[in-house]
Structure 1
Amino acid sequence: MYVLTMDQKGSRRGGDLVGEGLRTFTALAGAGVARPFQRTAGDEIQAVLTEAASVVEVMLHAARDGRWSAGLGVGPVEQPMPEETRAGRGPAFEHARDAVTRAKRAPGGVACTAEHPDAEHVEAVLQLLAELDHRRTDSSQQAGELIAEGRTQTEVAEQLGVSQQAVSRALDRGLWHQTRRVASLAVQMLETMHEEVTA
């Protein structure tokens, strides 16, 4: 399983974002949820996911938002799983605890822990993607998200009220197509690692 533990940054200086985080991350995770995001303690939330694509989507959103540290633990969980996410046990939960602690000081605010030789490589790819997503301008992100929905550059240009050339430049500046390909690679790497650590 994939266990995601998210910790709000600077909660003592700002308001409690847990309610917003629960709604946002649950929506992003979609159907890939075994146990939903739930407050575990203070300003921390946790979920158990089944789909690597959902994991990557949530982690990159958290990185771009900039207000969360995201720790991913990959491995077995004790079965049967309790209904309450925070009552879960097993290596994946322990790894997520390690990962979120490291994520607070890691590039992009994300980290991944697993008992697998490729865990460090997966973490490096996720951190690179997180840094790129965090640094992308709003215009590049908006254009990319519309492209991801299946729109053409001409349709995106019409919706945003800019030229098609401006859309193309925004996508190029934000390395949108390159990062989407690398995100697909991250999903494949996670799926392979998950298969091997839970076999």
Structure 2
Amino acid sequence: MIHVLLRTADPARDRGDVSRLCAVLAAADNLDHAGERGPARFTVRDDVLPCVVEGLLEDPVEAVGLVLAVIRTGAWVAGLVASTGAPDPDRGVGAGEVEAAVLERVLHRAAASTGRCALELDGAAGDASARRRQDAAEAALQLLGVLEQRRSEPQQEAGRLVESGASQREAAAALEVTQQAVHARLRNGLWHETRSLAAAVAALVAPSSRTTDP
């Protein structure tokens, strides 16, 4: 399971504002206004830091996508904690929530980074190979966070249309620009490169990549 940790960038101002914490979930791709979709579950964690939401997802691709969508708003920092354990689905997030010390460590690291994100893998503290995977995945995730924040809205719109299945010609028609303009937005926004890197991060986070070593 993948734990997604979200914290407002200014917790002193947003302390106790649960509505804003839930609003970012509703605004993120693939989530409805209840803050839930499929296997995803979210809860407010106020036992360690103020203004924290924890989500539990099964799909690492969706987890990485959610983190990037949150970072892009500029108002949030995010962390990923990949766990090999399977919580009781009848008990919700509380059955498998991240330990307080881990939550605090990951979110503090996220807040201190330029990419506004951090990542931790189960077992990395005592396994040199797992630690190397964690460091590589976190470095890539933070680079993605920087690029997401720097991508312009026109570049983002073009990328989303193409990612949803539109051709560059169809995207150009929808955006009322030339196909050459769409191509330039995708190129200058590093759209294809960041999607490939996001997939690589998700693969490193996936439990199957961490259960055994060659």
Is residue 107 from structure 1 mapped to residue 114 from structure 2 by the alignment? yes
Q: Does the residue aligned with 1:39 lie in a helix, a strand or coil?
A: strand
CA distance in 1, matches of 2:89, 2:119: 22
Root-mean-square deviation (CA, aligned residues, Å) is: 2.5
Q: CA deviation at 1:154?
A: 0.8
Q: Which deviates the most, 63-72 or 75-84?
A: 75-84
Q: Give the TM-score normalised by structure 2.
A: 0.80
Is residue 130 from structure 1 mapped to residue 120 from structure 2 by the alignment? no
Q: Does the residue aligned with 1:196 lie in a helix, a strand or coil?
A: coil
Identity percentage over the alignment?
A: 26
Contact conserved, 2:3 with 2:98, CA < 8 A, in 1?
no
Contact conserved, 2:14 with 2:51, CA < 8 A, in 1?
no
Q: CA deviation at 1:145?
A: 0.3
Q: CA deviation at 1:53?
A: 0.4
Is residue 40 from structure 1 mapped to residue 48 from structure 2 by the alignment? no
The runs of 5 or more residues in structure 2 that have no matched partner are 125-129
Contact conserved, 2:79 with 2:118, CA < 8 A, in 1?
yes
Q: CA deviation at 1:88?
A: 3.4
Task: Write the mapping of 1:182-193 to structure 2, written as runs, cut at 5 A.
Answer: 182-191=197-206
The runs of 5 or more residues in structure 1 that have no matched partner are none
Q: Give the TM-score normalised by structure 1.
A: 0.85
Count of residue correspondences: 194
1:27-56 Cα deviation digits (max 9, x unpaired) = 0884352xx112122411001111110111
Q: Does the residue aligned with 1:27 lie in a helix, a strand or coil?
A: coil
CA distance in 2, matches of 1:156, 1:176: 14
CA distance in 1, matches of 2:97, 2:187: 44
Structure 1 pair 2/194, CA: closer, same or farther in 2 (3 Å)? farther
Contact conserved, 2:8 with 2:14, CA < 8 A, in 1?
no
Q: Does the residue aligned with 2:12 lie in a helix, a strand or coil?
A: coil
Contact conserved, 1:103 with 1:109, CA < 8 A, in 2?
yes
CA distance in 2, matches of 1:30, 1:77: 21
Is residue 140 from structure 1 mapped to residue 155 from structure 2 by the alignment? yes
